[in-house]
Amino acid sequence: MWRDLPLFPPQASTFAVREDALFFYLVAVTVVFVALIFGLILYFAIRYRRRTPEQRARHVPEPMGLEIAWSVIPFGFMVVMFVWGAWLFFYAYNPPAGGIEIAVVAKQWMWKVQHPEGRREINQLHIPVGVPVKLTMTSEDVIHSFFVPAFRIKRDVLPGRYTSIWFDATQIGSYHLFCAQYCGTQHAGMTGEVVVMSQPDYERWLQGGGADTTAPAAAGEALFRGLGCASCHAADRPGQAPSLAGVFGRPVQLSGGKTVTADEAYVRESILTPQAKLVAGYGPIMPTFKGLLTEEQLLDLIAYIKSLQPPAGPQAKP
């Protein structure tokens, strides 16, 4: 059976080819320098060994060209590693626009997934081939780690925080999903699969979720109104709290003079700890919802706030 196991997982994403190229470059440089150094040590040990007890070593002046060469050449290899690795780092942390955003909640010992259309999954993730996918992830209990070897992606999933990762699958098929961070007694069983489908098959799969499937933005809107948030965060009139229309992804002026970007982390903190960052011009009147909302409900509220369009017309604020 071991003969059927591949040495490396398949290259099933745009990350895989790039990261494997850097990995093989690092391996090649390491092998070459280890062989060179070991070979020189062995050669010098034999060539310049003491042959008689009376033999004494003579002074050999250091050739400046050789000194410069063995400093500059390894430095050049290191620069290539740094530039190449930095380029991959920025590539991995800057998802392209126009992709699919999917919410993932980790829990001992399962992966809970929700698509923007409302389809939900456990320990499975269906995605279309050739379309960038961004995952916004959080944990309900302990630290987990989202790891898909065929995509060459791994990112820690932390309680109380949002982490994100993106990828672009290039091959249709089913690929292993693991938790790469020890998270408890059943850590080894926290596995799943990522199913890459053609675009038509993915569209048909989305439509097969049943009539009870509710999109996260719609569920967040119902929750927003049910909690009474709309009475203060009015979009069409001045209220006791700032309007949330078009606020996501834009800078927010705080009462202390600082400015923050309204991303997922800021919205989450504003819901659970509203007094942490007060918006300029508004008082500390919002109650905390800590302990009252689940991670899925927080993600629904964030999806709803993302969907709010900025006000149009001359009264729109920059």
CATH class, range 216-307: mainly alpha
| Residue 2 reports pLDDT greater than 80 | no
Query: What is the arithmetic mean of pLDDT over 296-306?
Result: 89
- Enumerate residues 6+ apart whose C-beta is below 8 A from 85: 22
| Residue 313 reports pLDDT greater than 60 | no
- Taking alpha carbons only, the member of 73, 84, 102 closest to residue 24 is 84
CA distance 74 to 69: 8
Decide if 212 contacts 120 (C-beta within 8 A).
Answer: no
| Residue 203 reports pLDDT greater than 70 | yes
What CATH homologous superfamily does 1-41+65-213 map to?
Cupredoxins -  blue copper proteins (2.60.40.420)
What confidence tier does 33 reach under pLDDT thresholds 50, 70, 90?
very high
| Residue 3 reports pLDDT greater than 80 | no
pLDDT at 21: 93
282 CA to centre of own chain = 34
| Residue 318 reports pLDDT greater than 80 | no
| Residue 246 reports pLDDT greater than 50 | yes
Beta strands 120-122 and 110-114 are antiparallel
What confidence tier does 118 reach under pLDDT thresholds 50, 70, 90?
confident
As a whole number, the mean pLDDT across the chain is 87
Structural domain boundaries in the chain: 1-41+65-213, 216-307
pLDDT at 42: 94
CA-CA distances (angstroms) from residue 145 to 44, 138, 139, 194, 257? 48, 10, 10, 15, 37
pLDDT at 312: 58
CB atoms within 10 A of CB 225: 12
Q: What is 242-276 written as a DSSP string? A: ---TT-TTSEEEBTTS-EEE--HHHHHHHHH-TTS
CA distance 277 to 214: 31
